[in-house]
Amino acid sequence: MKLKLLFTFFVLFFINMNAQNYIFGKINTENGVELKDATVINIRTNERVVSNDDGHFMISGRVGDELRIVKSGYERVSKKVNEDNVKSSLQITLIKTATLIDEVEIKKGITGDLSIDSKNLNQQKKVQKLKSELTLYMSQKSDPRVLAARPGEFVQPKGQGFSIGKVKNKWDDIDFMKYLISVLGEQYFIELKIEKPQIQHFIYYVFAGGFERKNILKYGYCSDADLMRFQRAVLVRIASYRAPQTQK
């Protein structure tokens, strides 16, 4: 009898320790405005949810999990789940990222002085030449030495036939997602009939479809070939992504 009670107690204890809870929360801006379409990620399970129109979200998790909250135009926030978060709603505040004001170009008019006007008018040609050279430079592949360690920077020690410790990725999926948006531009996705608030979600959908990015995250570098490979994956996944929305 005692053995049965002990076994029952052990099973109940095990279930209680491994029970999956749900974390509820609300996301606001620094001005107290409810923020929708913010992505909430459980780092342990890689589960992703999006906040609704009122800024509320619900995601499975447990004490000790790390939640990461991201939204384009706002600073990333990470929260550790504790006992209080499981019992009550988690309040998240996102702060807008600083934006640079576009440079205003002041054009010089013609003065009538040939020596002055020739310098001012030739300046435009210099700018065009610089842009052309920059475009050529950006199209070339990076020198492998770019990834080399800088003087004084820690280098992961390696033994013969094995490595000591684990090399941490320079990027995660969020960094790669932001890079894709910055390079391709939001208009690229909008022309594919992906609404602006759903761009991040769609990129994660392409990732989940088996897009290989191990080396991209490891080195924090996306080559032109990788970018073209992602665009091909977009064309493959776009039809299935739209299907649930078009079905009646």
pLDDT digits (tens, 9 = 90+) for 137-191: 666 655 555 555 555 555 555 444 444 555 689 999 999 999 999 999 999 999 9
N-to-C CA span, the chain: 58
247 touches 225 (CB < 8 A): no
pTM value is 0.38
- Please write the tens of the pLDDT for every residue from 55-100: 999 999 899 999 999 999 999 999 898 888 777 888 899 999 876 5
For residue 21, list its beta bridge partners: 61
Q: Please give the domain boundaries of the chain with CATH numbers for all domains.
A: 2-94 (2.60.40.10), 167-246 (no CATH)
Nearest in space to 85 (alpha carbons), one of 55, 64, 54, 56: 64
- Please write the tens of the pLDDT for every residue from 106-131: 555 666 565 566 566 555 666 667 67
| Range with top average pLDDT, 11-15, 79-83, 107-111, 206-210 | 206-210
C-alpha dihedral over 56, 60, 63, 69, to 10 degrees? -50
- Please write the tens of the pLDDT for every residue from 218-227: 999 999 999 9
